[in-house]
Amino acid sequence: MDTSKQDSRRFFERIRTNRLTATFALLATLSVGILAGSIFTRSVSGKEAVDSSDARPLTIPSPINLSTDFSRIAKEDGPAVVNINTESIPKASTNRRSRRGQQGPLQIVPPGGDQGDQGDQGNMQDFFNRFFGGQGGGGGEDGPDGGNGGVRQALGSGFIVDSRGYIITNNHVVDKADKIYVKLSSDPENDSDPGRLAHVVGVDADTDIAVIKIDAPEPLPTVKLGNSDGAQVGDWVLAIGSPFGLSKTVSAGIVSAKDRTIDDPGPDGRVSQFQRFIQTDAAINPGNSGGPLVDMAGEVIGMNTAIYTQSEGSEGIGFAMPSNTIANVYNQLIGPDHKVIRGSIGISFQGAESSAVSRMYGFANGGVLVNTVTPNGPAAKGGVKPGDVIVSIDGKPIKDGDALVADIASRKVGTTVQIGLLRNGAKQTVTVGIADRAKLFADVGNESGDNSTPSDSDAGESKLGITVADIPSELASKLGIQGGVMVNTVRPGSFGDEINLTKGTVIVEINKKPVGNKADYNSIVSGLKSGQDVVFVVRSTGPDAIAGNSYLGGTLP
């Protein structure tokens, strides 16, 4: 038994001994492996000196001229493109009610602008017309100060067309500016220097074109104006300007459409008849407005004016006023009167009739159905009557109202035209004179002549910034008055806006003169002069209307 126990102990001792031996052997093997790995790793470390005498240094090749058109055009036209910055001092307004609304990220409004009471359509066109005049939230018609703080600043672009310092830009870039400064591309980059003081030569709000001038001791570089009629959809174009204040910026795109119109009414309720754009997908952003759109010949075929956007930035749909329109307006603005004179025959018509109307009146293949004829106007004197269909001018067929307006507006005042008519299906021709559109409207107190829609414009629109209509008889009875006119629209920033005239207000007296109807109103307003005190006696019509008369007034700018 003792021998058996001893044999068992020896057996277990051998097992323990062999296990320890195996363990030590394994540890020794791992140690050797780790040591060898360290040695090999050190041998390939980047910290060790390596012989690179056979490495070849990189060389920069000579420049290769690939497509040189874009760079060539940028070099040729860039020096004549200028940066425009303006300063506007907010006008003090006494007892003015706040009319600012909430601005969400997708609302289409001027950057930092006043939404006013114009509704979505007014806001859309207000933004569309003046978007590029602002920089971020601090520009446009109303900066973050709400109109009662410091100086408001805005940025835009322009291009020199005369070496003596004449520059073309957008009207909305310089509109209402107290000071206008221009920086040339050759001027040093200095934020403390606003640039050279510029003066307005003339503006045309209908086409949003302005001409300004700076002193030029030495001849300045100029652009070459091209013929926009030659531009074709698909042509390459470059937009040059100062987006977001970044001067000398060039973006490329194509002409994506031509003869584009914008149907949204402006803040005054009107649709512009003289804005027909070149559409492009070249990137246009705030600050580009007023800069040139250039074709591959290096010629200016348009002026960047507006965009459609939901982000207040480029989304690939931009609009440029054609160079042919620019040239015609420029030539009139630099004339002795510094204004654009457009012809009119004194009619109004409906912009878009249904096919049933055109078939019924016999002009399915083109023509313009006359809605109204201005009393004592050229058309009335020539024998044109409501219900007539104008089908030709001097033998040239007229397709629609846009073609009619374009033709008549371009004609010289005092000349005559042969108007081809359809009256009760029978053709006839009458001779009609061409009158000054602005004077004709002022004389009749109604700017409906040659309009694509019946208009409520009146003699006070340019002076007061408002449009009015005769007060409905039932409302007059409710208010206990004999007559008056009701305010239809108020242009933001206008004199009427500043003295707190609002839509729906009834005007019963101006400067102690009773206003019984629109004719009385036009007669009184036509005689108002700049610098004159103007006081309105008004009646409110809203749910919170104050009983009796209220008095609003100010000094006419």
Residues annotated as catalytic are 172, 208, 289
The rounded distance, in Å, linking the Cα atoms of 331 and 73 is: 26
Q: Which of 495, 519, 499 is nearest to 446 (CA)?
A: 519
- Bridging pattern class, strands 299-307 and 224-225: parallel
- Bridging pattern class, strands 506-510 and 485-490: antiparallel
Residue type, 532: Q
Strand partners, 87: 153, 179
Tokens of 342: 């457009």
Cα–Cα–Cα angle for 67, 81, 73, rounded to 5 degrees: 15
Residues with Cβ < 8 Å from 336, sequence gap 6 or more?
Answer: none
Q: Which of 244, 272, 421, 399 is nearest to 345 (CA)?
A: 421
The rounded distance, in Å, linking the Cα atoms of 260 and 11 is: 105
Report the run of H or E that residue 379 belongs to, with start and end: helix 378-382
The rounded distance, in Å, linking the Cα atoms of 208 and 220 is: 24
Tokens of 50: 């390596």
| The three-state (H, E, C) secondary structure of 412-478, written as one string | CCCCEEEEEEEECCEEEEEEEECEEHHHHHHHHCCCCCCECCCCCCCCCHHHHCEEEEECCHHHHHH
Alpha helices in 175-228 (DSSP H): none
The rounded distance, in Å, linking the Cα atoms of 268 and 254 is: 33
The rounded distance, in Å, linking the Cα atoms of 126 and 124 is: 5
Q: What is the dihedral of CA 272, 275, 280, 281, to 10 degrees?
A: -20
Tokens of 364: 């399915």
